[in-house]
């Protein structure tokens, strides 16, 4: 509590030690519900995936790569250009984008009658024409779907709730709408985007071009499980240069992963021979992390597969008129995050809120337990402290026994 | 170049000053193409959008918000629960997800014959059965699309390139595949996800719950322009507490934006009355940034609209069995990034590689200009330096004139 | 406030719009002192100097420099090795370190008598011997100064306050102690440390060695002013390599400063010719920052001197047996911070708490103004809102006038 | 190497698979010295102490503390105000600052004669007077020590090297200079500064005031060892508020340390009862870190002492006219860094460059081993690859044996 410095200075001048000893009298004693760990110093916690993204970005920047944003929406046609005969298999795993069609809606006399009933008045010819124009504009894409209600409400001077009711009751065309697929897809990995990006850079930037991107990708999985999510994050980079080679992939893998505590690396040709890589250059990176040694996972040896790299095939690059070889290395953010956070389930790490098994530490539980009623006055709190201290002091005395814990005035009476 | 410390120490002991003066003799003189600014100290540059995301995350964390990841794929049904009669208008702006169907493919005798021609041998009955099983498994989702070629290749012991050719030539079903839409959508803003997340937290965490997320959203635009992208980033937060109110929105807007240099704030009720907000609580945030004052944008006054907040409607919350009011504030990352980077076009800021007008600074141009041929020996470089120095020294002499720039031995001859 | 989702769901099923409209009834209305801007969302703010240090570290790391810690305490002798005949002038600007001597204290009979008086008992011979040993150990450096009181208190079984009193009254030797200077100095710039560090690295690391350090330096100024502090921060780097040259300094200056928004650079030989640099290589860096243009400082042209670099002299390097040339670039952190924060006074930027002129923004003042008494019940707050609303509504009515603002029960009575 | 996209596109149109297979022909094959791990992707590494400082700053900011800079130079008098009778013991562990005196130097005729000999000419009366004025100005502090040589050189129009020689030969007063101690000290911990800072804030900022600082402190140790450095870093914070109490210290310790992976906490009253803390409030924080469990340190139990906190004594606060209690918590940065980096020696962690035992990983050694001579032409490299491949292929053949590894033209001859 607040004190008077002048008075304490005076007292200390006379007897420093005694004044110092009495300092405790100014201490605040919180009620039981305001004591640690019930009170805590709250701080915001980062999400493990986004935290890992942030660390990966910094690691790439420190390796001298510049950050790019690649298109997340890619025409299916691009997949054909990049994958050749493999395209169909790849597209099977892609999400396509679809959208609701905009119905062509006429206003018959019968419909006008229905509207009049809801409005409890008759629409004028001008108003009917205005509504017709709006519906036509909506069909043509000139009026946005989320402006439709507001526009009609303004045109016929009605409350927007009423208009919503009209659209629902009078125009069943809206209700039965079914989305229609387009030829656009969501990228299933970052490579789709790199071809587009590099085809626009190779002729106007100095080589080498070193770029990275850490961003969302989408895979159309039959189901999500501990190791697969429909939307995941890829941390991908490219080097375009005349003399790029497999050793660059090894050096980048080493330079990137050693920033995360990995200490040794093994490189193994991939069984899968993707058509967008030059044959023989698609390589899996295995890395050793000391913190994994002895862990109760399948990585107890400390070794884990963490990345893949390869040299883009001249065949695929030529489709984009790119005349230089390109090294591409990519890794799954969720996978690295699982290793760093000792997690067994990608879903639990990404979406803890949806997990049925919810764990509380002893401290979190202690923080949630409060006493229902506790003294609210200084005297009340002093009594409660006195009782606790007396109990501790005489805890070993065999009962029955009786001790004075506190004596004083309460509510002005002794 | 390397020198001999012992020898220099000796010389300095005799004549410090003269030895010091001669230090320049050990200097390396780079050839013209290796001189600044042709050589530069390259560093990786962050992307303005991802950099802004990183700053927004830190700003939310410093305000005591914890980070969450919300589902990016949301059933259309959820939009109905959250928006009521407004849902249709919202869904008009959403992308639905679609995917390629898996055709039911039989193997007739005629097809076997076609395969045999390509393979230049006859498939055995066992092989035919194996292929039939694989195609059936694929239809059932037990064989992934991107494993199909490899599985068949293994079953009939053929090269995967041949198998690709077979699939293309013999099974036209694959070619004609058209994606089919599902009832799943990509979130058009973060709110879709917050309802799902909060409905799983309100009964097991201490209030207040303060969460944020900065992540991708998708809007089905007719077209992209300087202010609209189909995929953008939302920086959104929620506070769930018994006594949450409009003033919390103002305080958060102030606390968040003042970390980005905004200094004054104005709050204005939004004309749009979204159904997932309590009526009267949807508020637009205008903020003043000193760096905007006098800029050649429409924000030359320094004032700009940067965020919107509101209190989720009990009607919408009740659909998710959430019994507490929730304040929600959101802002567009691209918009903030444009303000911070003084940009007029969201496309140019996000995807500079796709912009036709490519700007180079004087320094970048200087770095790209090199001399085609330059001396590669020390003597050669000394001669070139001598010529430059002589030219500078006698530059004002009227021509014709002649000066000795360098004298010495070249290739062992004087 | 908390609500009942089941009940609201029921109501919405019957009449969605009306239920939605009534959502406002669940809103919390804070008392006037709990309204924005009196409530604010507090966040911790970084200090501009330490924030700039953090940015400089990141900028150096992104340029591929590794971070080192150099000794902050340096023997005066090292300055002689590095600066030769210039050393004296440099040492004039250095702080030397000094320390209190440890007095040789005997315990005479007279002193024992004095102690006995204070203790109100007689020390035994063993106790006297123990105290003598402790004082001897203290003199020898075996007993630390801050353990002295505790050790004696233990030895003679007395309260430490009493012992403090004894030391003060009986041993005046302590009181008169004067610090004595040593031959150790605090580095006045980072170069002192680089020579020591590099002399231990040149033979065991691969070249080039690229190191940086951002840390405190000390200058013995006659007085501190707007541009000079006795303790400031230097952001310094070195490159040791066979072919290091002046162009490397230009490239590093450019690479480092362009990360802080500087756009153009000019290099000018320094008039000062420090002896630890090779003659002709000491160069001042001027940089152009667009945010400075038109500012009310002496840098209104946008150009400002921000760094100095040079090639260490072989003469100085040889003193440390270093056989390779070294490029060294350094800049003052406080100077960069002043430019970035538009500050005119280094003291105000570093130590705002000690500045007499304390500025408050309008918002900070608004946050400090509170109403002394405000209603604490829901009804009370409703009345106060009603009065405010009624006043606004009828504000233009000429007085005298009277309006009903609120009607209802108070304390159970109408 | 660069290729021709048009040509490859053409080839792929005719035979995709064969063209894809031939992609490897465009691969660059680096010479043995340019292969991984000899080439590596270098990145700058942060220093463990400064990295820990950066993390501590962020952790404090996320707890809502604002950053302050406290004075590093503190008058000895302040220590007396804060520590009372304990001050002497504290000052015994402090460094005092000292500085070289500026000698009063006259110019006798004899000295003028000596100067003339060195200059090989006679100084004019004006020049002598000018030198006298400069020496006088230097004594008075109007001429800085590091400007002395330059000023004299200008005044007598002589080379600065000559002037250095004159000062050395003619004015022995400079040589014999001994530093003299002042009453200023370097702070031995952060508390010295907090009292100064808070005494300027308590009357002009809203409570609570929450500040932190992570910065250098200095202790005059007899010697440095694995656990003690003369200059170390303290990470310290204060909360000033009317009702600050011991539970705040516990909550802050928990909130700060749990951000570094500590999971459980134990609080134990400190035996040492510093006079600037209220008696009974000085508490040591022990924390449990899972990564320590089973480590080969004295912390194998996982428990380690990491911080101390207390409530400043009203006696000490009153000396600064501060009327509110203050909670202060501090921890040693080097100690936390040692725990996080599994280090046993503070010197090795701070100054690896000065450690005699220098460890290299297998990878670092591999990077340092290069082949002295390696082929520099494409053909040469192809031959060397062919030899390696042939050796691997026939490695098991018993010798003597002979194989053709490569055949072709060399230097234009078969």
| Predicted confidence (pLDDT) per residue in D305-337, tens digit | 999 999 999 999 999 999 999 999 999 999 999
Quick count: other Cβ atoms within 10 Å of Cβ A365?
Answer: 10
Chain C residue whose CA is closest to A60? C62
How far is it, in rounded angstroms, from Cα C74 to Cα C81?
A: 12
Average pLDDT, chain C: 90
Angle at A70 between CA A66 and CA A71, to 5 degrees: 165
| Confidence band of C90 (pLDDT split at 50, 70, 90) | confident
Cβ B215 vs Cβ B171: under 8 Å:
no
Supply the pLDDT for residue A409.
82
Chain B residue whose CA is closest to C361? B263
Interchain CB contact of D169 with B (< 8 Å): no
Quick count: other Cβ atoms within 10 Å of Cβ D102?
Answer: 18
Cross-chain residue pair D92–C145, CB shorter than 8 Å: yes
Chain A residue whose CA is closest to C57? A62
Option in D36, D252, D256 nearest A247 (CB) = D36
Option in C61, C97, C200 nearest D98 (CB) = C97
What is the per-residue pLDDT across C279-290, written as a single tens digit (0 to 9) for each?
999 999 999 998
Cross-chain residue pair A315–D8, CB shorter than 8 Å: yes
Chain D residue whose CA is closest to B42? D43
Q: What percent of chain C has pLDDT over 90?
A: 57
Residue pairs spanning C and D at CB distance below 8 A: 209
Nearest to A320 by CA among D23, D28, D8, B164: D8
How far is it, in rounded angstroms, from Cα D50 to Cα D233?
A: 10
Q: Which of residues 226-245 of D touch A (CB under 8 A)?
A: 242-245
Cross-chain residue pair A259–D20, CB shorter than 8 Å: no
pLDDT tens digits for chain B (414 residues)?
899 999 999 999 998 888 998 998 888 888 888 888 888 888 999 999 999 999 999 999 999 999 999 999 999 999 999 988 778 888 999 999 999 998 888 888 999 999 999 999 999 999 999 999 999 998 888 888 778 888 899 999 988 778 888 888 898 888 778 999 999 999 999 999 999 999 999 998 889 999 999 999 999 988 898 889 999 999 999 999 999 999 999 999 999 999 999 999 999 998 777 889 999 999 999 999 988 888 777 888 899 999 999 999 999 999 999 999 999 999 999 999 999 998 989 999 999 999 988 788 887 888 888 888 888 787 888 888 888 889 888 989 988 889 998 988 887 776
Angle at B147 between CA B145 and CA B150, to 5 degrees: 135
Cross-chain residue pair A54–B49, CB shorter than 8 Å: no
Option in D62, D161, D165 nearest B61 (CB) = D62
D390 Cβ neighbours under 8 A, 6+ residues apart:
D403, D404, D405
* b/e map D197-211, b = 16+ CB within 10 Å: bbbbbbeebeebbbb
Interchain CB contact of D41 with C (< 8 Å): no
Positions of chain D with pLDDT lower than 70, given as ranges: 414
Interchain CB contact of B208 with C (< 8 Å): no
Interchain CB contact of D159 with C (< 8 Å): no
Chain A residue whose CA is closest to C42? A43
Q: Which of residues 354-413 of D touch A (CB under 8 A)?
A: 361-363
Residue A65, token pair as written in the block? 């790569």
Cross-chain residue pair B84–C319, CB shorter than 8 Å: no
Nearest to D89 by CA among D74, D79, D78, D99: D79
Q: Which of residues 50-109 of D touch B (CB under 8 A)?
A: 61-62, 64
Chain B residue whose CA is closest to D59? B62
Chain C residue whose CA is closest to D148? C89
C346 burial via Cβ count (<10 Å: 0-12, 13-18, 19+) = buried
Residue written as token pair 């139990």: D301
How far A229 CA sits from the closest chain D CA (Å)?
28
CA dihedral C199, C205, C206, C209 (to 10 degrees): -50
Cβ C287 vs Cβ C257: under 8 Å:
yes
Cross-chain residue pair A42–B64, CB shorter than 8 Å: yes
Angle at A218 between CA A46 and CA A87, to 5 degrees: 150
Cβ C47 vs Cβ D67: under 8 Å:
yes
How far is it, in rounded angstroms, from Cα C3 to Cα C11?
A: 13
Cross-chain residue pair D64–B64, CB shorter than 8 Å: yes
Supply the pLDDT for residue C270.
85
What is the per-residue pLDDT across C189-213, written as a single tens digit (0 to 9) for each?
999 999 999 999 999 888 999 999 9
Nearest to A26 by CA among D273, D65, D328, D280: D280
Average pLDDT, chain D: 90
Average pLDDT over every residue of A48-61? 97
B278 Cβ neighbours under 8 A, 6+ residues apart:
B310, B311, B312, B313, B314, B325, C23, C24, C26, C27
| ipTM score of complex | 0.91
Alpha-carbon distances of A182 from A76, B77, B146, rounded to whole Å: 9, 22, 22
Supply the pLDDT for residue A382.
83
How far B164 CA sits from the closest chain D CA (Å)?
10
How far is it, in rounded angstroms, from Cα C409 to Cα C331?
A: 72
Q: What is the CA radius of gyration of chain D?
A: 35
Cβ D65 vs Cβ D237: under 8 Å:
yes
Option in A3, A41, A246 nearest D63 (CB) = A41
What is the per-residue pLDDT across D351-361, written as a single tens digit (0 to 9) for each?
999 998 878 88
> Which chains have at least 3 CB atom pairs separated by less than 8 Å from chain B?
A, C, D
Q: Which residues of B touch C319 (CB under 8 A)?
A: 5, 9
Cβ A300 vs Cβ A289: under 8 Å:
no
| Confidence band of A125 (pLDDT split at 50, 70, 90) | very high
How far A24 CA sits from the closest chain D CA (Å)?
6
Cross-chain residue pair C64–A64, CB shorter than 8 Å: yes
How far is it, in rounded angstroms, from Cα C102 to Cα C179?
A: 10
Q: Which residues of A touch D361 (CB under 8 A)?
A: 263
Q: Which residues of A touch D292 (CB under 8 A)?
A: none
Interchain CB contact of D17 with B (< 8 Å): yes
Supply the pLDDT for residue C246.
95
């Amino acid at each position: 509590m607040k004190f008077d410095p002048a008075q304490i200075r005076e007292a200390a001048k006379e007897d420093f030690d005694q004044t110092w000893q009495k300092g405790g009298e100014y201490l605040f004693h919180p009620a039981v519900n305001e004591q640690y760990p019930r009170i805590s110093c709250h701080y915001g916690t980062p999400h493990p995936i986004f935290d890992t993204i942030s660390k990966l970005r910094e690691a790439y920047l420190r390796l001298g790569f510049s950050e790019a944003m690649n298109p997340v929406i890619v025409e299916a046609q691009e997949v054909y250009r990049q994958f050749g005969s493999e395209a169909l298999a790849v597209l099977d795993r892609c999400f396509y984008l679809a959208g609701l069609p905009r119905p062509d809606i006429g206003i018959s006399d019968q419909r006008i009658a229905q509207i009049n009933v809801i409005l409890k008045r008759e629409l004028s010819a001008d108003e009917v024409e205005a509504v017709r124009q709006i519906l036509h504009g909506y069909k043509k894409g000139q009026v946005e779907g989320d402006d439709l209600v507001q526009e009609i409400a303004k045109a016929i001077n009605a409350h927007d709730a009423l208009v919503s009711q009209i659209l629902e009751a009078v125009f069943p065309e809206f209700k039965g709408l079914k989305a229609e697929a387009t030829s656009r897809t969501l990228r299933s990995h970052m490579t789709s985007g790199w071809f587009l990006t590099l085809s626009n850079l190779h002729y106007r930037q100095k080589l080498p071009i070193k770029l990275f991107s850490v961003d969302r990708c989408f895979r159309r999985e039959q189901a999500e499980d501990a190791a697969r999510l429909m939307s995941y994050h890829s941390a991908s980079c490219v080097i375009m240069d005349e003399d790029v080679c497999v050793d660059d992939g090894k050096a980048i893998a080493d330079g990137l992963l050693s920033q995360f505590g990995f200490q040794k690396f093994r490189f193994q040709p991939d069984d899968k021979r993707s058509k967008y890589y030059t044959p023989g250059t698609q390589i899996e990176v295995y890395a050793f992390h000391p913190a994994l040694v002895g862990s109760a996972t399948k990585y107890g040896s400390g070794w884990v597969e963490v990345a893949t790299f390869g040299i883009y095939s001249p065949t695929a690059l030529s489709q984009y008129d790119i005349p230089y070889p390109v090294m591409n290395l990519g890794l799954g953010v969720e996978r690295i995050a699982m290793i760093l956070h000792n997690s067994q389930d990608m879903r639990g790490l990404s979406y803890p809120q949806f997990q049925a098994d919810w764990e509380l530490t002893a401290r979190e539980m202690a923080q949630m337990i409060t006493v229902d009623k506790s003294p609210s006055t200084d005297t009340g709190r002093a009594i409660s402290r006195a009782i606790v201290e007396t109990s501790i002091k005489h805890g070993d005395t065999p009962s029955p026994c009786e001790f004075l814990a506190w004596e004083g005035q309460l509510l002005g009476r002794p």
